[in-house]
Copies of this chain bind each other. A is one copy, B any other.
């Protein structure tokens, strides 16, 4: 594996559940799909009960007639493994296969994803059913790809079953070898937590407060990720042994407590995502402060998806109101939004967009999770949008396989992501800075990527970018620091914030001045630091006479030899002290911000680096419009997306041809509400 699958053409798909409908509807459904431009359907990912109604009694042929129909009519199929929903008989007979909450209350049959990854019985049952399915369907000519499970780590990404504790112990034995090493790594001398027998170790358990040993918790999250990846790898291995070599293997969604990058690299040919931007308009969303960014926050997720797989697919693209009967309340997408959001996915790198779902289910928990068609099966407004979108996808042929263009990247790694989950201080600064950077990126039309530092990340991966923001890498290793130094020495710009470099790989604090291993790069020292108290005004700094908010947390910087002070604090007892420094290292430079990024700070730093508004020579656009560029060879395609329910005007400073209608435009171009225009530059 480890080869990136590329779609041969811009492709439109849909999720379909043959088993939910009378068989008499199948042919007409396929005909209507094909007529509207759909060429791929995903099926079967919740169908275990159909395949194995009782233990060991297999009825594998249910989908045969449907697949034959697809083959006959020219529809391609992505086939799912059914492990997200074990049958009732399985979990009743083997309750050890169930996940539970931290108090040990088991999640019972009746929803989905109630199993744990570490039950030997569940592995065995999964191996059997996947093997059966792979052998039965693996070479059907209609099938172009396979989806493993459904939304791994969705519903919950925490696992507390006995099987998890047992597997956690095994994983720790491999990792540490001896209890002495584990005790040292976890600092168990604190609060008399020393372990003297492996059997004393468990996944997190109830305590008077949820104040777990943070080093144990960090390892626990690594272990959860590993469990999930192993489960995925097991499935991929079985599939690969039986399915057509041309078929790709993927999974869908993007959830927490798992290394999606390693999973994709190790087990998948393609990563696909489920995109539901309409949550931003739902009843359960109260706190979106900036109306300009509601559904544009999905771009943050798409940016993360792109870091996993540059030319990804969307396995589930929202086509209607989203809601379970008991949870989540999205309105119906307004006219144009379904197309807008699908093109948002394409602008960010998707070459395959599959809508969820063909027809709204008439029973079960998801009767309000609308498909394109309603219960009544009639042609409707959203069918019209589907046809329009499919026609546009054909015109987007030049985009297929093209890269999203960005000079700036947000740098992350899983150690810091996991560490920041239990650690309030780490989490607060991280959320603040990452959100602020994305906001600045969107509002100032400055495309941004994400870059995950993985063991296999190379200097070439970093050198794709002119500047890297790694705001709060509390955990820093020599290996990563070395990679960053090489990047800077060869001309890169690195921006780090407060709370950097003070932890080792176990999340223990290093007995050195901050920013620890980054000190050589930043040429700074941190003697004072503090959370911003709610009893004070929000801290700020002054940079060239301009006020720059410094929210959440402040490191007061002491510049060492070679560092220049760019900005100084303007508030609190450290007013006048350095707040932002710059240090030239080799051909590049390192900026150290003594705080978390505000939106203003992110924009001011990008401006200082000459990286703000890179499209300015070509096009001017208001904040309400997102600009994105995909390029391949000499071909450059510019997307302009209007997220507002009103017309917006952009100004082309050079002639450009619309891919959709072929017209060449220059000067002011009006985008209708929710309209997207795509120009060949």
Contact = CB atoms under 8 A, between A and B. Distances in A.
Contact of A194 (B49, B196, B325, B334): B49
A92 B199 contact: yes
A433 interface: no
A282 to B, nearest CB: 7
Interface in A199-231: 199-200, 202, 204-216
Given A361-B190, A375-B511, A156 B208 contact: yes
B190 A364 contact: yes
A424 interface: yes
B325 A87 contact: no
Nearest to A87: B192
A74 interface: no
Contact of A510 (B214, B281, B334, B375): B375
B529 A332 contact: yes
Interface stretch (A107-115, A402-410, A436-444, A611-619): A107-115
B213 A327 contact: no
A508 interface: yes
Contacts of A215: 363-364
A510 B362 CA distance: 7
B213 A110 contact: yes
A527 interface: yes
A88 B194 contact: yes
A459 interface: no
A200 B89 contact: yes
A107 B207 contact: yes
Interface string A415-452: 00000001111000000000000000000000000000
A265 interface: no
B326 A190 contact: no
B528 A187 contact: no
Interface residues on A, range: 35 or more
A634 interface: no
Interface stretch (A4-12, A169-177, A237-245, A377-385): A377-385
Interface in A49-105: 49-50, 53-54, 82, 85-89, 92, 99, 101, 103-105
B110 A205 contact: yes
Contacts of A423: 325-326
Contacts of A422: 325-326
Contacts of A325: 211, 214, 422-425
A374 B296 CA distance: 42
B110 A216 contact: yes
A291 interface: yes
Interface of A is mostly: loop
A46 B285 contact: no
Contact of A531 (B85, B194, B283): B283
Interface in A501-539: 502, 506, 508-514, 527-535
A191 B364 contact: yes
A107 B206 CA distance: 5
Contact of A191 (B46, B156, B331, B368): B46
A321 interface: yes
A347 to B, nearest CB: 22
Contact of A508 (B109, B112, B363): B363
A362 B511 contact: yes
A168 to B, nearest CB: 13
Contacts of A286: 534
B46 A192 contact: yes
A298 interface: no
Copies in the complex: 3
B19 A189 contact: yes
A193 interface: yes
Given A87-B196, A286-B534, A206 B101 contact: yes
A572 B48 CA distance: 43
Given A49-B189, A189-B20, A528-B332, A294 B535 contact: yes
Contact of A380 (B54, B214, B527): B527
Contacts of A500: none
A474 B72 CA distance: 40
A573 interface: yes
Given A214-B325, A321-B530, A424-B325, A49 B192 contact: yes
Contacts of A363: 186-187, 190, 215, 506, 508-509
B335 A366 contact: no
Given A321-B531, A325-B422, A533-B282, A193 B376 contact: no
Nearest to A216: B110
A498 to B, nearest CB: 13
A192 B112 CA distance: 9
A53 B196 contact: yes
A330 interface: yes
Given A89-B196, A107-B206, A192-B46, A362 B327 contact: no
A560 to B, nearest CB: 14
Given A194-B49, A363-B190, A111 B212 contact: yes
Contact of A512 (B103, B282, B375): B375
A572 to B, nearest CB: 8
A651 interface: no
Interface string A275-287: 0000011110110
A502 B212 CA distance: 46
A301 interface: no
B207 A110 contact: yes
A197 interface: yes
A185 to B, nearest CB: 9
A340 to B, nearest CB: 14
Candidate in A155, A211, A291, A513 with the most chain B CB atoms within 10 angstroms:
A211
Contacts of A186: 363
Give 10 closest A-B pairs by Cβ, nearest first: A187-B363, A190-B364, A85-B192, A332-B530, A108-B205, A155-B208, A111-B207, A49-B194, A362-B509, A88-B200
11 contacts: A49-B196, A89-B196, A111-B208, A113-B208, A187-B362, A190-B365, A209-B327, A215-B363, A331-B530, A332-B528, A376-B511
Given A20-B189, A111-B212, 14 more contacts: A46-B191, A49-B194, A86-B192, A87-B196, A111-B208, A190-B361, A209-B327, A281-B535, A283-B533, A323-B531, A329-B531, A362-B508, A368-B425, A375-B510
